[in-house]
Structure 1
Amino acid sequence: MEFTHTRLLVDNYKECFLFYRDVLGFNVTWGDENSNYADFKFNGATLGIFERKQMVEAIGGEYSVNIEKTDRTALIFKVKNVEETYQELKNKVEFITKPTEQKDWGIKVAHFRDPAGSLIEIYERI
């Protein structure tokens, strides 16, 4: 596995996009203020921001702004093959989603949580 970036899950996407681009001056490497997902590069690191509602829907959850404990961050790992990694890990972790092609995102993904409940995504480009 290769750790590729941290993704912030936000309810105010456009405001956050403008903050990271215009206030902090991070370089946009993917997305724009209306895409609901963007990657920023700074000092060799990548930060992603994603509309939380879409992430909740992708993992089969129910979106609400009133939920006390919600996903705000996701750890993202690029793998060579999502299906193979899923098979290697399925007896060690409880997957939230099975390997699924997200054609709009251009990736195949699967999701699980660490023991503290942090959301983890494994992905490959399709």
Structure 2
Amino acid sequence: MELAQVRLLVSDFPACYRFYADVLGLKPQSGSQEGPYEKFSPATGAAGIALQDRSMMAEVLGELGDTATGHRSLVVLRVDDLDGYCERIAERGAVIVHGPAQLTDRMRVAHLKDPEGNLVELQEWQLLVG
């Protein structure tokens, strides 16, 4: 088994598309800015993030509402330079809600939300010296 992608069900597809492409800088697969589906890939790594219009999945399953309540996901992205990346995405409109801060002895994190309120965690792993 392998992870193919994390898919987020969103209500405002264009706003979320712009966030993942323009603010976070992930590469869209097809450029489908209006939806109903798009996959984004980081510069490195195999797994990606996909957006899917929430109403499309509601039709398929007949059980999801048009809007989510509470935190329904946490997208985790690893970056090499957490402080620098946070500065760059803040210049492009991201609002960092926590950090950058040390989380463990080997990891620093920062958190932000996409336009739908999905949490995004940025991680920077540090080598242990000793």
TM-score, length of structure 2 as denominator length: 0.47
TM-score (norm 1): 0.48
Structure (1/2) with the larger strand percentage: 1
